[in-house]
Structures are given as structure tokens and as C-alpha cells.
Structure 1
Amino acid sequence: MIVHKDAEDFNELDRKIEEEARKRTDSVLVCPQCNSTNVTYYMGLKTGVQYQCKECGYVGAFIIERDKE
């Protein structure tokens, strides 16, 4: 029974992440260390949502969000 509940929680989390990503179609995420736009969501369940830069390896909750040019 617990496994089923956990699966539902992960499905709900995936749905919310996709929903949030759709809201951000007019903006781009930028790494605060190297200014790269090669940034993805990094799952940090207990620490909250974090981001990861694929260029410099930065991982953290702080990220720059700016309008697409």
C-alpha cells in the first residue's frame, strides 16, 4: 500500500513540474555562475527544487530567469 502512495506522489510531482515548465515558455533559465542557459531541474525532494548547470556543474536553488530574446 505504501508503494502505491509513493507512486501517486511521484506522479503528482511530475505533473506539477511539467505544468511549471509550460508556464515558463517565454523565459530562459540562466546559471548564476557561468551565464550558461544549459540549465535543468535537479530533483532535491527534501531540499526543494534545485537547478543544475550542465556547463559548470553548479547545483543550487538560486537561478536567474530572464525573457527570451
Structure 2
Amino acid sequence: MSHLNVVVGGGGIAGTSIAYHLAKRGKVVALLERNRTLSVGQYDATNVSVGLVIVPLLHWQDPAK
């Protein structure tokens, strides 16, 4: 790759969609994501757009103890 036209930051639904559509229009795109998997944040656009609520997990405690 000799040049980039666009650098997109964020691999959630918005970032990947933008990168996809720009590439489809002939742009050379680099998609940057800080995590190993795409869209893993608790309040990112992907989760909000589908109405997904991620509740922090609590360790179950035995009431008998």
C-alpha cells in the first residue's frame, strides 16, 4: 500500500460502516481499533443502536455463607 486516503478510528458499527462505504467508493482506508475484537465497549454506538444493555457481572454469593 503506497498511500492512504482515509484513516478511520474505531471498529464499532459506525467506524466499520464508514470504512466499508469509503472503500467501496475506491478510497484506500485504514481502520484503527484499540481492542483485539471490534465493538467491545459497554456504551459504544453498536450496543446503543441495537438497544443492548450490558450489565456488569457480579459474583454470585451463597447466602448460606
**What band does the TM-score fall into relative to the shorter chain?**
under 0.3
Higher strand share: 1
Instruction: Report the structure number with the largest CA radius of gyration.
Output: 2
Q: Indicate the structure whose relative CO is greater, using CA pairs within 8 Å and at least 6 residues apart.
A: 2
Higher helix share: 1
